[in-house]
Structure 1
Amino acid sequence: MTGNIVSRRYAKALFSVGQKQGDSELAAFGKALSELSQILEDSPEALRLFQNPVFSADEKKAVLAKLLEKTSAGPVVKNFCSLLADKGRLPALPAIASDFAGMLDKVQGVVRGKLVTAIKLAAKRQSDIKIKLEEQLQCKLELDFGVDKDILGGVVLTVGDKVLDASIRAQLQMMKEQIKRGV
């Protein structure tokens, strides 16, 4: 729970700085944080280094500087990351990036979701589904598509914190429960 509070506070602080500088800067901050978070996800050894108390803040900053060269981070984000290093909060970077992205989505009116099917859908079909869902939700939707053969058929749609499970697996599970209860 503490990590969530810490990451939200740092994300909120950077977000407020970005809002004062304008929408384009705010989006640039989000992009840079996302890129850095992706780099850390791809190389967990860097994240372990940031968590290791044996290394000094200066050593961590040196590694961080190399990582930031691979991103589109501007001076504000670089200074923000340097502050995180000074405060020993570099391990929270992925959570901060996630919280920042959530705040950015809220301001921009974007809702994220995921549609899971038993088979891969064609690009045209994915586009049609996304357009229909945007019309129904009346907002901009960032929809990821996934495949899970275990659902047998149908779809599992997750949008925000809501889940619609219209899969054959779920229907079979409900039938199983009804049989157990003797309905």
Structure 2
Amino acid sequence: MIGNIVARRYARALFALGQKQGDKELKAYGEDMTKIVSALEGAPELLRIFKNPIFNADEKKGILKQLLAKLKPGQVVGNFCYLLADKGRLDCLPEIQVYYSKLLDESQGIVRGEIVTAIKLADNMKQEIVGKLEKQSGRKVVLDYEVEPEILGGIKLKVGDKVLDASIRAQLQILKENIKRGE
């Protein structure tokens, strides 16, 4: 919980700085943060080092310097990472990136969601679903598609904070509960 609050504060600070610089920089900061976090997820031992209190800030900065030299982010994001190292908050980078992405999506009017189906959807069906969701919400919708044969049929849709479970599996579960209650 505390890490989440800290991550939000740092993400908001970087976002506010990006807003002052303009939309181009705002997006560039997000891309740079995504690159850094992707590298950390690809090498989880680095994140463990950043979380480990045995390593001091200078040692962590040395590792960070090598990482940033390979990734070549913008100067502002690089300095931001060094600030996190000084404050002992490098372990919050993944959470900061997630919240920064949410802020960026909100500023651009984008809603992200996820759709789960039992079979792979055709591209025209995907476009039709996105089109209807954009029409309903009045915002740009970006969906991640996932296939789970376990849902048997139908769809599970999550957009923003709204969830629709119209899967056959869910319907069978409701029917089962009703039979148990004697309805």
The 2-side partners of 1:48 and 1:87 are apart by 17
Alignment-mate amino acid for residue 102 of structure 2: G
Identify the range of structure 1 (153-162 vs 31-40) with the bigger mean alpha-carbon deviation. Answer: 31-40
**Which residue of the partner structure matches residue 14 of structure 2?**
14
Aligned equivalent of 1:166: 166
Residue 126 to residue 71, structure 1, CA distance change in 2 (3 Å): farther
d(CA) in 2 for partners of 1:38 and 1:124?
31
- Shift of the 95–132 alpha-carbon distance from structure 1 to 2, 3 Å rule, reads same
SS of residue paired to 2:71? coil
Deviations along 1:27-72, whole A, 9 cap, x unmatched? Answer: 1111111111111112111100111122221221122122223435
Partner of 1:81: 81
Gaps of 5+ in 1: none
Quick one: distance in 1 between partners of 2:102 and 2:59?
31
Q: Distance in 2 between matches of 1:118 and 1:167?
A: 9
Q: Which moved more, 1:162-171 or 1:116-125?
A: 116-125
What is the alpha-carbon distance in structure 1 between the residues aligned to residue 134 and residue 42 of structure 2? Answer: 32
Change (3 A) 1:72 1:122: farther
**Greater displacement, 129-138 / 41-50:** 129-138
2:64 alignment partner in structure 1: 64
Q: Which runs of 5 or more residues in structure 2 are unaligned? A: none
Runs of 4+ in 1 over 3 A off after TM superposition: 69-72
Q: How many residues align?
A: 183
Paired with 1:62 and 1:12, the residues of 2 have a C-alpha distance of 26
Alignment of 1:46-125 (within 5 A): 46-71=46-71, 73-125=73-125
Distance 1:87 1:128 in 2: 47
Amino-acid identity (%): 58
TM-score if structure 2 supplies the norm length?
0.95
- SS of the residue corresponding to residue 88 of structure 1 reads coil
